[in-house]
Chain A
Amino acid sequence: MKNNANKHAATGGENREKIGVFLCECGRKIAPKIDLKLLEKILSNDQIISHVMTLPYSCELPGIEKIREIVQDKHIGRVVVAGCEPRIILPKLERELEGFGIEKGRIDVVNIRGYVASVNQGDPSQLASKSAKLISSSAAYLDALIPSPKTRIEFKGPVMILGGGMATYSAAQELVRQKIETIIAVYTEDTEDVIRMLHESYPGKWDSHERLRAIINEVNESPYIKQITVGKLEKVRGVMGHYVVTFASEKDKPPLSYEVGAIIAALDGEMHNQGTDFGHDGKRVLCHTEMDEHIWLHGAPGHRVVFWINDLETERPYANLSARTAWNMAIYIREHNVFSRVSILYNNKIKILLSSAEQIMSRELGIEWIPYDGTIRPTVQDGFITYNDQEDQIEKELGWEQLVLSPLRHPGVEQLKVAQILGLHTDGSKFLERNPQMVRPEQVGLDRKFIAGSACEPCDLKETLRQGRRAAHKITELIGLANEGRLFAPSMVCTVDQGKCTGCGLCREICDCGGIAPVDGPGGNTPRVVDPMSCTGGGTCAAACPYHALSLQNNTTAQREARVAALARRLDENEVMGYGCNWGGVAAADHAGLRGMHYNSRFYLMPVGCIGQLDLSVMGRAFLEGANGLLLIGCPPEECHHSYGLDHAWSRVLLIKKMLDLIGIERERIALAHADLNKPDQYIKTVNSFVGIIDKMGPIKRNEMMEAKINDVYDTLNNSRVRWVLGASLRRPWETTYPSDQRSALAYDETLFDVLMEEFLRIRIINLLKKQPGVQQLQDISCSLGEERQQILSCLKDLTEEGIISRIFKDRIPYYSIRQE
């Protein structure tokens, strides 16, 4: 039975590591408000905690030295520090204790200062018991940890630069200078061909040609370079350090494969002309690339040329770039043909960025810059362009013999395909610009995939070359570290249990870190692998996996379940628990603590890296272990620092609400909220309001029947079919809004509910038969579950056919029992 094999119980065993708890007095901030002596006493009764101690300041040097001493004397393997904000102090503690057997992940900080001492009013003994519950849950979290060894990254093979963009050469130059073997995949090996084709992607950059030529020559002459002219990129397999890159080749020949250590993609965007818009005809009305070609073929024209920067009219934001290109071409034309006249016409909403030296040059060359009032769109006539003068609001006409329009920029179809093969989510005509990562550098191995060029975001040649150099520089650094054996993946990243993975691809669809890649193998469905250097440790992919094949190292679902379970068991009936994400709820709570704002002391907050990390089973476990309310507080909408954790949590919460409703528990007992870290007052409102909602309902009326039902709900939440159907509703990275405009919302919801009901009934029957060994009649089952016989009969039939239940006939009456393995 697949579902039950996945039950996330706290581990433990003989060789369980000892847990030490260190309580901080923190000057006057914790000690007088919380009765630390009482707290010590409560905690010393906790089975899994083997040592408790109070220190004036755990985080200062004397405190740290004391912790090191205790850790070594008492052979403590895991440490809970009860003090202040883990977001701030944890890195220091990790650093200071690392050499003493307390690796990353084996240490947890509970913010009793910010969540108890400074925000709750009450007598010190009450606050001590609240702190004890939080600390015990943290100890349970650490107790369930199965430490993963550090993943060392090695580079097996040279660096490959593919994509054929101009950044190829600057990146290669940087790499060969560092004596790193490099393979470059280019379309042509002829330097002059490369230079000639420049006008296609970077028009008007004649001043850079010499430099580029020098770079290409340097690269070509290096002994570390290998140039290959190949067909289309077909696939990329593997992870950082060891990739296999396959290119298509001519007919009848096998595809070419290369084993490389790292990949840089040099992708240049494309430029298109305006079609027939704005009078474009390719002869007299041109775009930048055509003008560049014209000058290349016929030299600088000796007549009147007008550059119209019409990006705003075509609703594109790259006006400045077009203005730069126009300016470059204008200089060239004026310098090479004295008979020419050049004007640059631009919308006055565009801010033209010319340095003072360039302004002087512009005056000397007689290049006219004409701003116009963009509220009236200029009209192109034969030989004239009409515009509205911004100064006097008069319609004026500007004569031209050649009119040059801004190009339409596009990332390029081929380039997008390459990006897709590299594991990036691409979206139609959107540029590949990688937003800056929104997590700490320690949480992710690479801050970006190595992509350079104008397909990321339109830029000029100089910027493209710079991006190439920067990517190469970063790779050089990493290779240097790896060669010294000091390059490790972050400690909390996803890993795939390939035995469980069915290759459904849900994780790759919903996670946009670009680190989940397929593995080549026989058969259709190929299992997945996670690139530990790309994963940010968001974990929503792990929480979504229908088969629990993905898990977050050193921060597993089992650990989070252990934490909720430990807390839920200790909570009083009128107390409420909640999970806050490190970027939203926890940060806002820390802020409220810093400001000493008071709020309801019956609320218990637990931290989690991203609200999307919370698996359905974690939420279910809370209710199973006795929680009466669960509040999840994430980041503000659209501000998830990982991959849409808030949206995914929303879908999961909706499912839990359905399940609660199914067994007669109020839907309001679980809720999703969000908090801005800078608005602690809103966070407090959220908490107080939720505690109020739970207070109104009172505790869940639990009896044996209800307990059994909640247990069945928990099993249903681990059911792979239910999780699969839920996976369909999780927001995909390319969806701009969610969930308000989902298609066929009702139909989906009905399907989900049907699946839930079906699987729930199956699980109830199985659990019932398991609990009561021996054979049972249909009537008994129907009676115990309180369901109609017809439904149960059809379910029993299915289960019997699947071989989960066995059926025997006595006196022609069927008796059912669970099939023993």
Chain B
Amino acid sequence: MKEIDTKKLINFSINGTPAQAKEGWTVLDTARNMGIHIPTLCHHEAVEPSGACRLCVVEARDGAWSKVVVSCMYPPYEGVEILTDSERVKNVRRWVLEMLLAQCPASREIKALAAEYGVKSTRFRIKNPEEQCMLCGLCVRVCAEVVGVQAISLGSRGVLKHVSTPYMVPNRACIACGSCVTVCPTGAMQARLDKVRGDVSQRTGHGFAH
């Protein structure tokens, strides 16, 4: 854990409201603390942020300069103006959602979220209409950081990337706790869990539990 100077306050603004953050807080932390809603998918409080889904984008303005940044990882600095719902932000979110709709068209959660932003269809190529996974890697992070084992990982790179166990066979490191299912933002892990944990009854019992 980083040393945090709790006395030092950073003054900035979110949507025009003055905001105060302590060192170590991100824009998302501060906004949530003020009751301002920013949509997230790959963010989970129990693990370090990774900025994978890009849905939590906000606009950071400093004078004439402006940039769209991911709020889950962006540390605010003195005087910056954050806009969580500007037209530019909404536009980026719509793009993100459209891409997500192409990546995981079967996910109920993604569809509902897209509908909130008025995104009903996607112009990108749908590779697999049955796909639910958006490859945010939250399950992988929870498995390593919260559970403390590394049963699943993101395999391959680029368009071939997928969540799986090594060699795509049930993994003995998996303790079948289901934490990956519990945090999955798109409901994709439910179908994958059995391939990760295998037949648990074959691993417990007959002599030794561990």
Looking at A85, A425, A440, which has the most chain B CB atoms within 10 Å of its CB? A440
Number of interface residues of A (CB under 8 A): 61
With the chains together, A583 CA to B174 CA distance in Å? 13
Picked from B32, B35, B206, the residue with its CB within 8 Å of the CB of A736 is B206
A65 at the B interface (CB under 8 A): yes
Residues of A contacting B: mostly: loop
Q: Which chain B residues border A27 with CB–CB below 8 Å?
A: 32, 37
- Check A60/B46 contact, CB under 8 A, given A65-B6, A639-B201, A678-B181: no
Q: Which chain A residues border B178 with CB–CB below 8 Å?
A: 583, 587, 590-591, 677-678
Nearest-Cβ distance from residue B168 to partner chain A, whole angstroms: 17
Q: Which of B62-70, B81-89, B95-103, B186-194 contacts A (4 or more CB under 8 A)?
A: B186-194
Encode contact with A along B6-32: 1 for CB under 8 Å, 0 otherwise: 100000000000000010111011101
Which residue of A is nearest B40, CB measured?
A27
List residues 190-207 of chain B with CB under 8 A from any CB of chain A.
190, 193-194, 200-201, 203-207
B169 at the A interface (CB under 8 A): no
Q: Is the CB of A89 within 8 A of B46?
A: yes
A435 at the B interface (CB under 8 A): yes
Q: Is the CB of A638 within 8 A of B204?
A: yes
A642 at the B interface (CB under 8 A): yes
With the chains together, A448 CA to B210 CA distance in Å? 7
Number of interface residues of B (CB under 8 A): 46
Picked from B37, B45, B172, the residue with its CB within 8 Å of the CB of A59 is B45
B73 at the A interface (CB under 8 A): no
A637 at the B interface (CB under 8 A): yes
A258 at the B interface (CB under 8 A): no
Encode contact with B along A424-447: 1 for CB under 8 Å, 0 otherwise: 111100100111111111101001
A137 at the B interface (CB under 8 A): no
Q: Is the CB of A92 within 8 A of B45?
A: yes
Q: Is the CB of A57 within 8 A of B33?
A: yes
Q: Is the CB of A425 within 8 A of B146?
A: no
Encode contact with B along A87-105: 1 for CB under 8 Å, 0 otherwise: 1110110000000000000
Nearest-Cβ distance from residue A138 to partner chain B, whole angstroms: 19
With the chains together, A88 CA to B206 CA distance in Å? 30
List residues 599-651 of chain A with CB under 8 A from any CB of chain B.
636-644
Which residue of A is nearest B45, CB measured?
A59
With the chains together, A318 CA to B191 CA distance in Å? 32
Q: Which chain B residues border A89 with CB–CB below 8 Å?
A: 45-46
Q: Is the CB of B182 within 8 A of A587?
A: yes
Q: Which chain A residues border B205 with CB–CB below 8 Å?
A: 638, 640, 644, 736
Q: Is the CB of A442 within 8 A of B148?
A: yes
Which residue of A is nearest B178, CB measured?
A677
List residues 411-465 of chain A with CB under 8 A from any CB of chain B.
424-427, 430, 433-442, 444, 447-448
Q: Which chain B residues border A91 with CB–CB below 8 Å?
A: 46, 146
Which 7 A-B pairs have CB atoms at the shortest separation, nearest pair first?
Answer: A437-B210, A638-B201, A59-B45, A677-B178, A62-B33, A441-B148, A639-B200
Query: Can you show 26 pairs from A to B with CB atoms below 8 A apart?
Result: A27-B32, A27-B37, A56-B34, A62-B22, A62-B30, A88-B46, A91-B46, A425-B207, A430-B207, A436-B203, A438-B204, A441-B148, A442-B148, A448-B210, A512-B207, A513-B210, A538-B209, A582-B177, A590-B182, A594-B181, A594-B182, A640-B205, A640-B209, A642-B209, A678-B190, A733-B207
